[in-house]
Structure formats: C-alpha cells, structure tokens
C-alpha cells in the first residue's frame, strides 16, 4: 500500500532509530524491526552469535559473503573483522543491493573494508580474482538461494578461491534446506563438517 518494499521500510526505521556509525546498534535496530514490525530474512541475533564466534576463532583477512540481502549479515561480519581485513559481498537483486549499500555505509564501513558486488553469484564468482582482486577467501558465508549453495561451492573450488584451511559457513542447510550441498560437504572428503543447531530467525 505504501509503494515501498519491506526492506525499504526497514531502512527508514533504521534511519529514524539507529545510531549512525554504530554497527552493534544498527543490528539491534534491525532486530527490533523484525521482532515487532515485519519479518526480514536476516541472520538474526541467535545465529548471529555463531557467526561472531567463528569470526573470533578464525580471524579471517579475506571474507566472502554470498547473499547480502539488506546488509544485516554484512554488518555482522564487518564488525567482527580483524584489522586490515576485507569483506566482499555479492547480491543478485539490485533493489536489495541498493538498500544494503546504504545500511553498510550507515554502519560506518567504507568501500575499502566492504565491497558490495551486484550480480548473479554464478557470474560474479569467476570474476572475483581478475575484477575485484580477491585472490582467495579465508571465510565464506553462504546465505543466498539454498539451491545455489552446491553450485557456488563448486565454482569457488574450480576457480581456486578457497584459501588453505578456509571455513565455509552456510545458513539454513536443514530448513528450508540444502540437502545436495550438505551431502557433498560430508562425503567429498575435502571438509570437516559441523552442524550448528539454532532456531529460525525471529
């Protein structure tokens, strides 16, 4: 009825209530919106703590996020980066990317720290090294279309974009589910797998 998307409405709420340059407060304000106003398919605070723990343990210098959406996961990742690290995030929907860009900059992250790349992941991944300077990633966070998880993991492998000992963190593999991705990760012999049990966001 308003002529704006729920993502744009969430951003207007952020502008009105969040503290610019404070990533933690931006995430809290997102959570407030999603709990009390409209549901957004963001990582949310419960699963967010798992992401924060992995970042703390791994201290990755080069992070790749597949599925920026509104920028919630991007801000979550960016605030946990060690000094000098860089985050590349890919979003296929230009409308979501437009909101995410504003959210990322509102949180205080520059293009030197967070680069948002708009385009389908299957087209962007093969160009990451030549066009965007990502030699390889220490951490990959997958939170885009579940049916693309396996395809994109194979693309990352074939283009040698995974650093030795890299961590792949994939959201929602049990529900709505990414069974082919999960089966491959468990049986191909390249990965040690761990499933983190968590509640659905919000």
Instruction: Give the model confidence (pLDDT) of 40-67 as tens digits.
Output: 999 999 999 999 999 999 999 999 999 9
Q: Which of 31, 65, 91, 143 is catalytic?
A: 143
Q: Is 171 a catalytic residue?
A: yes
Number of domains observed in the structure of the chain: 1
Q: Is 31 a catalytic residue?
A: no
Q: Is there a domain that residue 160 lies in?
A: yes
Q: What share of the chain has pLDDT > 90, as a percent?
A: 95
Q: Is there a domain that residue 129 lies in?
A: yes
- pLDDT-derived band at 68 (thresholds 50, 70, 90) equals very high
Q: Is 172 a catalytic residue?
A: yes
The CATH number of residue 77's host domain is: 3.40.50.150
**Residues 109/80, Cβ–Cβ less than 8 Å:** no
Q: Is there a domain that residue 196 lies in?
A: no
Residue 106 pLDDT exceeds 80 = yes
Q: Which of 171, 186, 190, 194 is catalytic?
A: 171
Q: Which of 172, 186, 190, 194 is catalytic?
A: 172
Residue 3 has what pLDDT? 86
Q: Is there a domain that residue 124 lies in?
A: yes
Residue 1 pLDDT exceeds 70 = no
- The range of the structural domain enclosing residue 121 comes to 6-188
**Residues 103/79, Cβ–Cβ less than 8 Å:** no
**Residues 107/76, Cβ–Cβ less than 8 Å:** no
Q: Is there a domain that residue 128 lies in?
A: yes
Q: Is there a domain that residue 1 lies in?
A: no
Residue 101 pLDDT exceeds 70 = yes
Q: How far apart, in whole angstroms, are the C-alpha atoms of residue 98 and residue 121?
A: 17
Q: What share of the chain has pLDDT > 70, as a percent?
A: 100
Span 111-146, pLDDT tens digits: 999 999 999 999 999 999 999 999 999 999 999 999
Average pLDDT over residues 151-156: 98
Q: Is there a domain that residue 121 lies in?
A: yes
**Mean pLDDT rounded to a whole number for the chain:** 96
Q: Is there a domain that residue 78 lies in?
A: yes
User: Virtual CA dihedral for 58, 61, 62, 65, nearest 10 degrees?
Assistant: 50
pTM of the model: 0.97
């Amino acid at each position: 009825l308003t002529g704006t998307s729920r993502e744009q409405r969430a951003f207007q709420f952020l502008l009105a209530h969040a503290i610019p340059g404070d990533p933690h407060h931006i995430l809290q304000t997102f959570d407030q919106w999603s709990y009390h106003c409209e549901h957004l398919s963001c990582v949310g605070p419960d699963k967010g703590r798992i992401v924060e723990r992995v970042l703390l343990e791994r201290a990755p210098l080069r992070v790749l996020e597949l599925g920026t959406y509104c920028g919630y996961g991007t801000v979550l990742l960016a605030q946990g980066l060690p000094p000098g690290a860089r985050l590349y995030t890919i979003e296929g929907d230009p409308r979501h990317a437009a909101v995410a860009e504003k959210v990322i900059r509102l949180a205080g992250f520059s293009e030197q720290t967070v680069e948002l790349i708009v385009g389908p992941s299957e087209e962007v991944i093969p160009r990451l090294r030549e066009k965007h300077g990502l030699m390889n990633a220490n951490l990959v966070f997958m939170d885009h279309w579940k049916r693309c998880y396996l395809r994109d993991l194979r693309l990352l492998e074939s283009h040698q974009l995974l650093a030795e000992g890299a961590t792949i963190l994939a959201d929602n593999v049990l529900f709505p589910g990414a069974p082919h991705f999960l089966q491959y990760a468990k049986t191909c012999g390249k990965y040690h797998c761990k499933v983190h049990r968590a509640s659905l966001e919000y």
